[in-house]
Amino acid sequence: MTAFIGIIEKDYAVIGSDTLSTYPLKPGEKELEPRSYTCKTFLLPHFKSAFSVTGILQLALSFHSFMVESALGIDIDSIINIDLIHFKQKINTNYTQFPSGTIYLVGFSYSAKCFKSFKLVVENDNELFWHKFPDNSFIAKPLVEDWESKLSQSGESSNYSNIIVKLMQIQKKEDEQKSVSEQVGIGGEVLITQLHYNEETNLVTMVTTIPFEFDDFDAKGERIMLNSITR
């Protein structure tokens, strides 16, 4: 699982995710065990788009591979018109255990002259379809209740990257207060991708940064090395 935050406006979009991957919870375990630090946000620059995944990481790898190998087009409108039945068939061909999860997609539409955002819930027993978020959306998974009030209490309200870092710190704190069976596991670093459309040049720029490291980064890293030997 993962934490995801997206802020989408007409000519600008920014998405953030953490980098912690955990093992599936075993019976009797009292906390999620870290498996690795990894990337959960993937760029599709030729489609002027980027996406993050919550759930099984192999879903992101399958989707990225499918888009690079099979899809044609120049923007996000091309992505949402791919053959989702073929995509699901390819997943079933490549994996004996279906990698379920949710894809959060953000990208620029040349026809609409704005950024759009969608999610795709991928389960083995459901029909795949894109759900479109409203224009100028704020998206958070896990949900941060009353996020504007909590953000104002932190003193951060202007810089989008700082907003995502502060909100992800809140997500991590609230996640750790849940029962272990309800936790998604948040940690590592915060990875942020910013997309911007320049009307004068008609170009979309994309920049990815890692502006923040969680306090338990080193401790979790040591657990990752130990678990790689013992699990």
Helix (H) or strand (E) holding 57: helix 57-70
Angle in degrees, 0-180, between the axes of helices 160-176 and 147-154, rounded to the nearest 10: 110
pLDDT of res. 154: 62
pLDDT at 158 > cutoff 70: no
Give the per-residue pLDDT at 71.
87
Q: Is the pLDDT of residue 11 over 60?
A: yes
pLDDT attached to residue 121? 96
The whole-number pLDDT of residue 231 equals 84
Alpha-carbon span 94 to 108, nearest angstrom:
30
Beta-bridge mates of residue 34? 22
Domain span at residue 174 reads 4-230
CA gap 120, 111 in Å, rounded: 22
pLDDT digits (tens, 9 = 90+) for 13-70: 999 999 999 999 998 899 999 999 999 999 999 999 999 999 998 999 999 999 998 8
Query: Among all chains, which residue has been given the structure tokens 């080193």?
Result: 218
Residue-wise pLDDT for 172-228, tens only, equals 999 999 999 999 999 999 999 999 999 999 999 999 999 999 999 999 999 999 999
In this prediction, residue 172 carries a pLDDT of 96
The tens digit of pLDDT for each residue in 106-152 reads 999 999 999 999 999 999 988 999 999 999 999 999 988 877 776 66
pLDDT reading at 155 higher than 70: no
How many domains would you assign to the chain?
Answer: 1
Residue pair 48/76 in contact by the 8 Å Cβ criterion: yes
CATH number at residue 48: 3.60.20.10
| Predicted local distance difference test score (pLDDT) of residue 193 | 97
Peptide bond into 142 cis (omega under 30): yes
Q: Return d(Cα 54, Cα 42) in angstroms, integer.
A: 12
What is the chain's mean pLDDT, rounded?
Answer: 92
